Amino acid sequence: KSSGRGTYRRFDVAMHAQLQAHQKMKIALRDALERNEFELHYQPLISLKSRRVTGCEALLRWRNPERGMIAPSEFVPIAEETALIVAIGKWILAEACREAAQWPEHVSVAVNLSPVQFKHRNLVNAVADALSSSGLDPARLQLEITESVLLDENEHNIQVLHDLRSLGVKIAMDDFGTGYSSLGYLRTFPFDKIKVDQAFVRDLPHGKESLAIVRAVAGLGQSLGMTTTIEGIETEDQLAIVNAEGFHEVQGFIFSRPVPAAEISSLIKGSL
Ligand code: C2E
Ligand code: MG
Ligand code: MG
Ligand code: MG
């Protein structure tokens, strides 16, 4: 019994430490924007037909003086809890558009949106502002959303998607296949692009189920007139399969990891 209680206490202490770390990060996040600690890295999207870079996805990084580089999976959820993601998201949009305006005209930029940004009415304004202050052609901006934005057929969010589309930007469904009703969501909004999640790539070329799903999505994109992209391509075997299945575009370490803004221009030029 006494060891049981001891175990409980250790658990309690661990929980407490975790909560404290969480709190600490929350506080550090509050100042990160003002202190210019965020940066965007860019990962190329490659057209399988031309083998050229057709776009780059902006991926958020937090360079904290104490902890070094922090991945978005560690801090985006915390920024979402506090709605800080709204201000950070605004910065991301402005920064990504400003950067992309320097790239060749056939190269677009993809920006990830958090579902929390949809709760705030200023999302459409933030996108419009980013476009007008950068001068970027709206057709060169792609907004990536995940299925959670459409959860419960959220009417408000669907309206926001239409408003965003009216600005002339493209809307992509990210991480396709990981939600519980991926196919259903394709009926709620006419997406310009589907991005298949890397979970379906990992066990290619041998995973029969993954192959069947990847094949079905390629066909779906074709019949719905959507661009099909697949992320997480790391090997030549995986590349050969998605090429054979007729995907339009790929993204993955096989071509490039996400790189700092200063490096992406030469990467794009190198692919011309
Ligand atoms: P995502 O939008 O699905 O981004 C793709 C993630 O896959 C990126 O991780 C990228 O580095 C990684 N990746 C790309 N190719 C490969 C590959 O070949 N192999 C493997 N193993 N991984 C690959 P990252 O940068 O850590 O971002 C993770 C997630 O964080 C993103 O998933 C997105 O949901 C979120 N995120 C990133 N940037 C932002 C942002 O600016 N705003 C918001 N709201 N979320 C963001
Ligand atoms: Mg994405
Ligand atoms: Mg994705
Ligand atoms: Mg993903």
> Which of 90, 112, 197, 233 to mutate for ligand 1's pocket (most ligand atoms within 8 Å of CB)?
112
Which of the four pLDDT bands, split at 50, 70 and 90, describes residue 240?
Answer: very high
Q: Which two tokens stand for residue 193?
A: 């692009």
Q: Which ligand is nearest to the CA of 118?
A: 1
- Report the distance separating Cα 101 and Cα 110, nearest Å: 13
* pLDDT of the residue at 16: 85
- State yes or no: pLDDT of 272 exceeds 80: no
Structural contact between residues 84 and 29, judged by C-beta atoms closer than 8 angstroms = yes
Q: Output the residue whose Cα is nearest ligand 1's atom 7.
A: 232
Residues pairing with 69 in the sheet: 63
Atom of ligand 1 nearest to the CA of 80: 44
Check residue 8 and give its pLDDT.
59
Question: How does DSSP classify residue 45?
Answer: E
Tens digits of residue pLDDT in 152-196: 778 999 999 999 999 999 999 999 988 777 788 888 899 999 999
**Ligand 4 centre and the CA of 1: distance in Å?**
45
Q: What SS3 state is found at 234? A: coil
What letter represents residue 250's amino acid?
V
CA of 194 to the centre of ligand 4 (A): 12
When pLDDT is averaged across residues 102-116 and rounded to a whole number, the result is 97
Helix 72-81 / helix 84-100 crossing angle, nearest 10 deg: 130
pLDDT, tens digit (0-9, with 9 covering 90-100), for 22-81: 888 999 999 999 999 999 999 999 999 999 999 999 999 999 988 899 999 999 999 999
What atom of ligand 1 comes closest to residue 59's alpha carbon? 38
At 45 the pLDDT is: 98
Please state the atom number of ligand 1 nearest to the C-alpha of residue 253. Answer: 18
For residues 112 and 16, what is the distance between their CA atoms, to the nearest angstrom? Answer: 32
Spatial CA neighbour of 143 closest among 121, 120, 168, 125: 168
List all residues whose CB is within 6 A of at least one atom of ligand 1: 43, 58-60, 71-73, 76, 92, 112-114, 144, 174-175, 198, 231-234, 251-253, 258
CA of 59 to the centre of ligand 1 (A): 6
Q: Is the pLDDT of residue 3 over 60?
A: no
- Say how many residues make up the chain: 272
Residue 104 per-residue DSSP state: -
CB 40 within 8 A of CB 18: no
Q: Is 80 exceeded by the pLDDT of residue 255?
A: yes
Q: How far is the C-alpha of 68 from the C-alpha of 170, rounded, in Å?
A: 34
Sign of CA dihedral 44, 45, 48, 51: negative
Tell me which residue has its CA closest to atom 20 in ligand 1: 232
Q: Whose CA is nearest to atom 42 of ligand 1?
A: 112
Q: Does 11 score more than 70 pLDDT? A: no
Structure-token pair, residue 235: 């090997």
The bound ligand whose nearest atom lies closest to the alpha carbon of 196 is 3
Q: Which ligand has the shortest distance to the CA of 72?
A: 1
Closest CA to 166 of 194, 139, 197: 139
Top pLDDT among 188 and 131 is at 131
The tens digit of pLDDT for each residue in 202-238 reads 998 889 999 999 999 999 999 999 999 999 999 999 9
If we measure between CA atoms, which residue out of 46, 76, 84 comes closest to residue 59?
Answer: 76
**pLDDT surpassing 90 at residue 248:** yes
- Does the pLDDT value for residue 200 go beyond 80? yes
CA distances 30 to 38, 46, 68, 214, 262, Å, are 12, 36, 17, 40, 26
SS3 114: coil
Hey, whose CA ends up nearest to atom 45 of ligand 1? 112
User: What is the average pLDDT across 88-101?
Assistant: 98
Given a contact cutoff of 8 angstroms between Cβ atoms, the answer to whether 42 and 264 are in contact is: yes
Q: Which two tokens stand for residue 250?
A: 């790929």
Average pLDDT over residues 96-117: 97
Question: Of 97, 108, 112, 131, which is closest to residue 45 (Cα–Cα)?
Answer: 108
| ipTM for the whole complex | 0.98
Is pLDDT above 90 for 84? yes
Q: How close is the Cα of 178 to the center of ligand 3, in Å? A: 10
Residue scoring higher pLDDT (272 or 97): 97
CA–CA gap between residue 116 and residue 217 (Å, rounded): 28
